[in-house]
Amino acid sequence: MNLTRKHVFVAGKVQGVGFRWAARDYARKIGLTGWVRNLPDRRVELCFQGEQEAVNDMETWCRTGASRFKVTDISVSEDSVIEGETGFEIR
């Protein structure tokens, strides 16, 4: 299996609107592992890994999310794959 991992910071109306729970549910649905958490500066940080197509799908989801989220900025970088990581959690 050829895994890839991304580290993402999402800014906008993404705290207090269920973004982390929706991200976790979507990541699990498409078979990704990783985590999501709120940051003190009101952004949300995510790290996720899996097959390239699913990782790209999650990145697209982070940009568009659902109507209750208003993403104003996103920063994406490649990250090192973590061997043996299981599950997707809210931190």
Give the residue numbers annotated as catalytic, written as ranges: 20, 38
Ordered DSSP codes for the chain: --EEEEEEEEEEE-SSSSHHHHHHHHHHHTT-EEEEEE-TTS-EEEEEEEEHHHHHHHHHHHHH--TT-EEEEEEEEEE---TT---EEE-
